[in-house]
Amino acid sequence: MAHVVSISSKVRDLTGGLDAFDVEAATVRGLIRALEARFPGLGELVEAEMSLAIDGEIHQDAMAEPLGPASEVVLIPRISGG
């Protein structure tokens, strides 16, 4: 069960104000699928516009990245730069 935390107001708009919740997923792809099922639009938003901090390390578009049974996944705005 991945523990999902968000710091994004865009996420809050889709979760009815929830900032933290648990999701059953073994990979990032599964997580996105589960997010979309639970909060329509959120999976799509995360896939298109967000990075994930999985147990502290930032991942971008890493769909196959495995999630541990107690992984913490933080949804963060996609980071780029100049």
Partner 1 sequence: MSDGNQSPVSFKVVGHRPIRPDGVDKVTGRAQFGADFHLPGMLTGRIKRSPHPHARILKIDTSAAEKLPGVKAIVTGADLDVGAGGDIEAGEHAAAMKDVAANVLASGKVFYQGHAVAAVAATSPEIAAEALDLIEVTYEVLPHVIDVDEAIAAGAAVLHDDMFTKGVTPKPAKPSNVAQRHVMGRGDVKAAFAAADVVIEGRYTTAAVHQGYIEPHACVASWGADGQSTIWCSSQGQFLVRAMTARILNLPLSDIKVIPAEIGGGFGGKTTVYLEPVALALSRKCGRPVKLVMSREEVFLASGPTSGASMDIKLAATKDGKITGAEMELRYQAGAFAGSPVNLGCMTAFACYDVENLALVGLDVVSNRPKVAAYRAPGAPMAAFAVESAIDDLARKLNMDPIDLRILNAVRDGAKTVYGATVRYSAFVETLEAVKAHPHYQAKLKPGQARGVAAGFWFNIGGESSAAVHVDEDGGATVVSSNPDIGGSRASMAMMAAETLGLPIERVRCTIADTTSIGFSGSTGGSRVTFATGMAVVEAAQKVVADLKRRAAQTWECDIAHVEYRDGVATCLDPSKDAKPLSIKALAGKSAKTGGPIAAEVSLNAQGAAAGYGVHVCDLEIDAETGRTTVVRYTAAQDVGRAIHPAYVEGQLQGGAAQGVGWALNEEYVYNAKGLLDNASFLDYRMPVASDLPMIDTILVEAKPNPRHPYGAKGVGEVPIVPPLAAVSNAVSALVGKRMTALPLSPIVVLAAMGKA
Q: At what angle do helices 28-38 and 42-49 cross, to 10 degrees?
A: 140
The structure tokens 């100049």 sit at 82
Report in angstroms how near the CB of residue 17 gets to partner 1 at its nearest: 7
Report in angstroms how near the CB of residue 1 gets to partner 1 at its nearest: 18
Tell me which of 41, 44, 68, 78 binds partner 1, using CB under 8 A: 78
* 81: its two tokens: 């730069």
* Beta carbon nearer to partner 1, 25 or 52: 52
Spatial separation of the C-alpha atoms in residues 47 and 28, rounded to whole Å: 9
Per-residue binder mask for partner 1 (CB under 8 A), 1-40, x = binder: ----x-xxxx-xx---x-----------------------
* 45: its two tokens: 């938003």
